[in-house]
């Protein structure tokens, strides 16, 4: 089966879908991944066909940081970013989909991917790395704080309305630029009155972290995380030497977050580690700041695979991105979440609720005393034990295989049923 996978964002957004593509290829399918040009080399190293998209996701990261957790500003930022590159993006997606038997789409392509699948009459599957588009009373939408059962459910409905109306405001503009190729009508994948015809919505989240909700309809499933294990990684000598020189360090990673106060926050981290006489590996990522020369107790690296590094660390300070949170939980170490924007506060609260880390510290409230207190919580025996137990549960799951099974089921079901109810 030829499968086109549409995704966009930072490495944390691309990597789970690369893991899925690798799994699909091993299962005998022919996947093509579509994502930012920036990650073409990363994908090529795993021998997966890649269709690069224009635009720099680092600019989107900056806009998301400014938006914080405001859902309207988040969707508006994405819309503005997409409209600038939309004609080139659509042409590349059409290229990737021309021989596809099935489309998989992530958050940014939820509407467009589904509408394209309907236009070319093939099945589609939506895969999300955070809970979206499936209203529940159990927890709020990712941009909201806990509100109570009825308000929680309303927050999901409200977030979906913002996504639909604001995100699709540029539809006619794009359609005018590409009248013969862009879908003539936009469809919502999860609204068909016939439940069998709704697009499957798969959450690439461990059921041990976010249990399936009784409120979910039949088309919604939880697969478990989509992990990419980079087995051929060869650590640089500086990393090997640092790990061998003392006890397990704290790992710090803010990933793709580009924050205007990176220098101030970097100094807070150094101050805390100096006070605790703690060793730390700081992954600088896109928005990192560092001092040169580094203090003796600190190692700066641009990046390292979380699957390799985190099991060698004692705890993990991070921004709370979905993929980063998943990697920390699987490693079985306590997490200290410092959310910047988007879904990160949601995951920070989840880490705390699960008992595997302290309450999250919003980035604009990061201060040395508060971080010292959070690290003290992370060192509590009960937290360390809970993190190890949760990590073992996650390691026992196989989200990639579960997702592949559901994708294959959808392709088979699509052949045997009435395909789409036309409006």
Let me know if 50 is exposed, middle or buried by CB neighbors in 10 A (0-12, 13-18, 19+): buried
Identify the pLDDT of residue 79.
61
Picking from 309, 344, 311, 302, the residue whose alpha carbon sits closest to that of residue 325 is 344
Whether 206 and 326 have beta carbons less than 8 Å apart is answered as yes
DSSP strands (E only) in 156-310: 201-203, 220-222, 250-253, 280-283, 298-301
Residue pair 124/113 in contact (Cβ under 8 Å)? The answer is yes
What local confidence, expressed as pLDDT, does residue 39 receive? 92
pLDDT at 123: 95
SS3 of residue 251 by DSSP: strand
pLDDT averaged over the chain?
88
For residue 254, which phi and psi values (nearest 5 degrees)?
-105, 15
- Give the domains, in start order, of the chain with CATH numbers: 2-225+398-416 (3.40.50.2000), 237-395 (3.40.50.2000)
Q: For residue 400, what pLDDT is reported?
A: 97
Predicted structure pTM score? 0.90
Question: CA torsion 315→140→403→208, rounded to 10°?
Answer: 50
Query: Is residue 204 within 8 Å of 16, Cβ to Cβ?
Result: yes
Angle (deg, nearest 10), helices 149-167 and 71-97: 50
Q: Which pLDDT band holds residue 147 (cuts at 50, 70, 90)?
A: confident
User: What are the DSSP E strand ranges found in 268-350?
Assistant: 280-283, 298-301, 315-318, 335-337
pLDDT band for 423, please (50, 70, 90 cuts): very low
Packing angle between helix 57-67 and helix 71-97, nearest 10 degrees? 160
CB 45, CB 11: distance < 8 Å: no
Residue 66 exposed, middle or buried by CB count within 10 Å (0-12, 13-18, 19+): middle
Mean pLDDT of 189-213: 90
Give the C-alpha separation, 403 to 94, whole Å: 24
**Which has more pLDDT, 87 or 10?**
10
The larger pLDDT score, comparing residue 29 to residue 94, is at 29
Integer CA distances (angstroms), 188 to 134, 141, 164, 185, in order: 13, 18, 8, 10
- Residue-wise pLDDT for 55-107, tens only, equals 776 666 666 556 555 656 666 666 666 666 777 888 888 888 989 999 999 99
Q: Which tens digit of pLDDT belongs to each residue from 302-317?
A: 889 999 999 999 999 9
DSSP 9: S
What order of strands is seen across the sheet that includes strand 102-105? 49-53, 30-36, 2-6, 102-105, 124-128, 201-203, 220-222
Calculate mean pLDDT across residues 292-311.
92
Query: Residues in the chain, how many?
Result: 423
Mean pLDDT check: name the lowest of 147-151, 154-158, 297-301. 147-151
């Amino acid at each position: 089966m030829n499968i086109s996978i549409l995704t966009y964002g930072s490495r944390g957004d691309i990597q789970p879908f690369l893991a899925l593509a690798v799994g699909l290829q091993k299962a005998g399918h022919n996947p093509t991944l579509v994502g930012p040009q920036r990650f073409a080399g990363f994908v090529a190293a795993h021998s997966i066909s890649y269709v690069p998209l224009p635009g720099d996701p680092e600019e989107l990261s900056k806009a998301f940081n400014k938006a914080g957790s405001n859902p309207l500003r988040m969707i508006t930022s994405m819309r503005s970013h997409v409209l600038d590159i939309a004609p080139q993006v659509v042409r590349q997606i059409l290229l990737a989909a021309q021989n596809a038997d099935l489309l998989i789409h992530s958050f940014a392509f939820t509407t467009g991917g589904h509408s394209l699948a309907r236009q070319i009459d093939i099945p589609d599957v939506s895969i999300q790395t955070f809970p979206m588009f499936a209203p529940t009373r159990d927890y709020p939408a990712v941009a909201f704080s806990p509100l109570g059962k009825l308000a929680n459910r309303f927050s999901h409905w409200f977030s979906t309305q913002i996504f639909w109306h604001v995100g699709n405001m540029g539809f006619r503009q794009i359609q005018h630029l590409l009248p013969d190729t862009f879908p003539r009508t936009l469809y919502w994948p999860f609204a068909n009155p016939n439940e069998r015809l709704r697009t499957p919505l798969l959450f690439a989240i461990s059921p041990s972290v976010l249990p399936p909700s009784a409120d979910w309809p039949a088309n919604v499933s939880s697969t478990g995380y989509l992990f990419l294990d980079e087995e051929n990684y060869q650590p640089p000598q500086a990393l090997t030497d640092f790990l061998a020189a003392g006890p397990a360090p704290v790992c710090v990673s803010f990933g793709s977050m580009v924050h205007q106060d990176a220098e101030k926050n970097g100094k807070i981290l150094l101050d805390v580690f100096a006070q605790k006489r703690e060793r730390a590996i700081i992954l600088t990522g896109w928005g990192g700041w560092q001092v040169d020369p580094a203090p003796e107790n600190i190692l700066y690296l641009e990046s390292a695979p979380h699957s390799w590094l985190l099991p060698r660390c004692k705890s993990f300070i991070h921004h709370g991105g979905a993929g980063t949170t998943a990697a920390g939980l699987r490693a079985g170490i306590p997490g200290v979440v410092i959310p910047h924007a988007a879904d990160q506060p949601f995951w920070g609260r989840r880490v705390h609720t699960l008992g595997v880390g302290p309450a999250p510290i919003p980035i604009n409230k990061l201060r040395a005393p508060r971080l010292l207190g959070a690290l003290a919580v992370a060192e509590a025996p009960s937290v360390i034990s809970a993190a190890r137990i949760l990590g073992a549960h996650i390691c026992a799951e196989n989200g990639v295989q579960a997702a592949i099974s559901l994708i294959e089921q959808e392709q088979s079901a699509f052949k045997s049923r009435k395909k789409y109810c036309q409006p």
